[in-house]
Amino acid sequence: MTSYQPDALIRADVAAYLARHEEKSLLRFLTCGSVDDGKSTLIGRLLYDSKHVFEDQLAALEDDSRRVGTQGGNIDFALLVDGLAAEREQGITIDVAYRFFATETRKFIVADTPGHEQYTRNMVTGASTADLAVILVDARKGVLTQTRRHSYLAQLLGIRHVVLAINKMDLVNYDQAAFDRIRLAYRAFASEIGVTDFRAIPVSGLGGDNIATRSPHMDWYDGPTLIEHLEQVPVDADRAARAPFRLPVQWVNRPDLDFRGFAGTVAGGAVHPGDAVRIVPSGRTTTVKRIVALGGDRARAEAGEAVTLTLADEVDCSRGDVIAAADDPPEVADQFEATLVWMAEEEMLPGRSYAFQLATQTASAVLRQPKYQVNVNTLEHTAARTLELNAIGVATLSLDRPIVFQPYEQSRELGGFILIDKATNATVAAGMIRFALRRASNVHRQPTDVTREKRAALKNQRPAVLWFTGLSGAGKSTIANLVEKKLARMNRHTFLLDGDNVRHGLNRDLGFTDADRVENVRRIGEVARLMTDAGLIVLTAFISPFRAERDMVRAMLPEGEFVEVHVDTSLASAEARDVKGLYAKARAGQLANFTGIDSPYEPPETPELRVDTAAESAEAAAERIVAWLLEREEG
């Protein structure tokens, strides 16, 4: 039996007690299961039995139990862990909460995550830092769909140890046969998904059986209690210390000209002064000079420690670089296949550029349409065009620059990444790198002898893309048409790409969902770019409602060739004119995803040109745009 806090030793010799407790290890685990499985009760019980509940909290708990408890007059341990007021009213847990308790040998950080279907996001968050998962099963119900889902997600996030806590044994008369049935059913499933280390423990959260103390009702069970097992499971971080050395540089410490230290948290392996290291991606090699620390230099540091290194040579190294073992450095690539967990209400948009963060590196990432989506209940792969909130799928992504990485199964630190929406700054997805795609490095561009500069010079003009954007009916096509006519009169070689025309040909397979709008703009951008390579002045007239995609096209073109023209009109006046009768249809509900009505328009923040249709006629605007272009050719 484990006793959490030996009061006698504390009273007699607190110094000895502290010395012993400084040697504790740290295990992070997560609990998964629904409210019905008694998860909150189990955690409340762990805290209560480890004396992490104080008298004043207990008094509040007793009071709460009487008011809103579900256990009659008895203490409702679940109320200890249901944090936010909204949750207490609804009686559900809606987010990840972190709890703490300690035994004689270990401190534990518990990520408490809900088991409800739409909260895959929360469980993945909790699992990302956990060494172990406690999966709760109701002894009366056995292995359910959600048990499989939790096991799959734990496995996906790289958790190596699983405890199957078969709870509510009191409600099946502590029956061994019931326990064995569930354990065997789970074992078959576990080996199927690759869970190798799992242990089943029969418990009762309500009565505390086999949690901290051995159950008096289950003599037939001779395995460890839950606490005993948690105390002896190996900690993953110790395994990371045996991997090759990796230090993602987080911050360069330069207090004066004589000192240049590289600070970061060791992601793998160990380091000593004198070790040969390589800076990745640059590939420069040098040796570690010192491991600098307040209170004196260190002789060694290992995975999990936050360190500051100095190097023997003056090499170029900054935030985002990785200092690695010279003879075993990590790879560098810019295209990957990855598993994605979508975490935002707004679905994934293939083609859109997201901010990408991995270790201390940042980049821009564009996703392709998913190869497949995983049904987390059946583990089947199904076709998908996009990923919605809580969906898991596999897709490829291309970055705008190469990054240092390792496959996720080798390194959480160098294989796990997040994607961020550049407009809202929300974290929209978590990803795990499976492998790098070699395509990027193998498909080389074919150099041509006649360059884009030569083609433009032959036409005696400077190529450009005049990108007209604005609401439907604002007058984009009208103005673009006038501009093209004027340019043709001046012997300029032009091409007008019109939204409606392109949708009849090149893009006729696309609809009007957000994802299709992104792809529509991407293709037009590529075509426009080819035409500027040919030396043309391209005019495009598309609503192109999203800032992110217009910026994407801007980034495709050489500096200064993308000219954004905002044809700015109020929704009211566009709707009043309604040349094509589309607003009327949209208002009548016959046209879905119509910009301005049920789909947003994001106006440009700093367009090169802006046309206020209320103040300027189409003719005058066209005149002004042409004048601007001529001035640009001269400048």
Partner 1 sequence: MTLTHLDRLEAESIHILREVVAVAERPVMLYSIGKDSAVMLHLARKAFYPAPPPFPLLHVDTTWKFQAMYALRDRAAREAGMELIVHRNPEALARGINPFDHGALHTELWKTEGLKQALDLHRFDAAFGGARRDEEKSRAKERIFSFRSATHRWDPKAQRPELWQLYNARHAKGESMRVFPISNWTELDVWQYIAREKIEIVPLYFAAPRPTVERDGLLLMVDDERFPLAPGEVPVERSIRFRTLGCYPLSGAVESEAASLHDVIREMLLTTTSERQGRAIDQDAGASMEQKKQQGYF
* Window 306 to 325, contacts with partner 1 (CB under 8 A): 306, 308, 319
Residue numbers 158-217 binding partner 1 by CB under 8 A: none
Give the residue with the Cβ less far from partner 1, 85 or 572: 85
- Separation of alpha carbons 235 and 245, rounded Å: 19
String marking each residue 119-158 x if it binds partner 1 according to CB under 8 A: --xx-xx--xx-----------------------------
Among 30, 42, 75, 96, binds partner 1 (CB under 8 A): 96
Among 39, 45, 99, 522, binds partner 1 (CB under 8 A): 99
Among 154, 358, 538, 543, binds partner 1 (CB under 8 A): 358
Least CB distance to partner 1 at residue 115 (A):
16
Least CB distance to partner 1 at residue 352 (A):
16
Tell me 125's DSSP state. Answer: H
SS3 281: coil
Helices (H), 321-407: none
Question: Which of the residues 544, 573, 599, 617 is marked catalytic?
Answer: 544
Determine phi and psi for 127, rounding to 5 degrees: -75, -25
Which candidate, 223, 64, 34, places its Cα nearest to that of 141? 34
The DSSP element (H or E) to which 237 belongs, if any, is helix 236-240
Give the residue with the Cβ less far from partner 1, 152 or 174: 152
Least CB distance to partner 1 at residue 25 (A):
6
Among 176, 427, 573, 593, binds partner 1 (CB under 8 A): 427
Q: Would you count residue 526 as binding partner 1 (CB under 8 A)?
A: no
Query: Catalytic site residue 282?
Result: no
Identify whether the C-beta of residue 213 lies closer than 8 Å to the C-beta of residue 1: yes
Determine phi and psi for 433, rounding to 5 degrees: -70, 130
Single out the segment in contact with partner 1 by CB under 8 A; choices: 92-100, 143-151, 451-459, 461-469.
Answer: 92-100
Least CB distance to partner 1 at residue 322 (A):
14
Which candidate, 524, 537, 529, 521, places its Cα nearest to that of 557? 529
Among 22, 222, 631, 634, binds partner 1 (CB under 8 A): 22
Q: Would you count residue 547 as binding partner 1 (CB under 8 A)?
A: no
Identify whether the C-beta of residue 44 lies closer than 8 Å to the C-beta of residue 81: yes
- Separation of alpha carbons 142 and 510, rounded Å: 46
Give the residue with the Cβ less far from partner 1, 105 or 176: 105
Q: Would you count residue 90 as binding partner 1 (CB under 8 A)?
A: no
Least CB distance to partner 1 at residue 297 (A):
11
Q: How far apart are the two ends of the chain, measured CA to CA in Å?
A: 84
Least CB distance to partner 1 at residue 58 (A):
9
Tokens of 213: 């103390």
Q: Would you count residue 3 as binding partner 1 (CB under 8 A)?
A: no
Q: Would you count residue 56 as binding partner 1 (CB under 8 A)?
A: yes
SS3 117: helix
Size of the site for partner 1 (CB under 8 A): 81
Type of residue found at 346: E
Q: Would you count residue 15 as binding partner 1 (CB under 8 A)?
A: yes
Give the residue with the Cβ less far from partner 1, 312 or 418: 418
Residue numbers 469-498 binding partner 1 by CB under 8 A: none
- Separation of alpha carbons 316 and 286, rounded Å: 11
Least CB distance to partner 1 at residue 561 (A):
28
Least CB distance to partner 1 at residue 15 (A):
6
- 99-116 residues labelled b (16+ CB within 10 A) or e (exposed): bebbbeebebbbbbbbbe
- 261-291 residues labelled b (16+ CB within 10 A) or e (exposed): bbbbbbbbbbbebebebbbbbeebebebeeb
Among 209, 305, 484, 549, binds partner 1 (CB under 8 A): 305
**Cα atoms found within 13 Å of the Cα of residue 77, Cβ hemisphere only:** 20
Residue numbers 359-418 binding partner 1 by CB under 8 A: 359-360, 412-413, 416-418
Identify whether the C-beta of residue 591 lies closer than 8 Å to the C-beta of residue 599: no
Give the residue with the Cβ less far from partner 1, 167 or 308: 308
- 13-34 residues labelled b (16+ CB within 10 A) or e (exposed): eeeebeeeeeeeeebbbbbbbb
**Cα atoms found within 13 Å of the Cα of residue 583, Cβ hemisphere only:** 15
Q: Would you count residue 237 as binding partner 1 (CB under 8 A)?
A: yes
Single out the segment in contact with partner 1 by CB under 8 A; choices: 96-104, 199-207, 465-473, 517-525.
Answer: 96-104
Q: Would you count residue 72 as binding partner 1 (CB under 8 A)?
A: no
Identify whether the C-beta of residue 210 lies closer than 8 Å to the C-beta of residue 165: no
Single out the segment in contact with partner 1 by CB under 8 A; choices: 34-42, 352-360, 498-506, 575-583.
Answer: 352-360
Q: Would you count residue 420 as binding partner 1 (CB under 8 A)?
A: yes
Least CB distance to partner 1 at residue 10 (A):
5
Which residues does the annotation mark as catalytic? 544
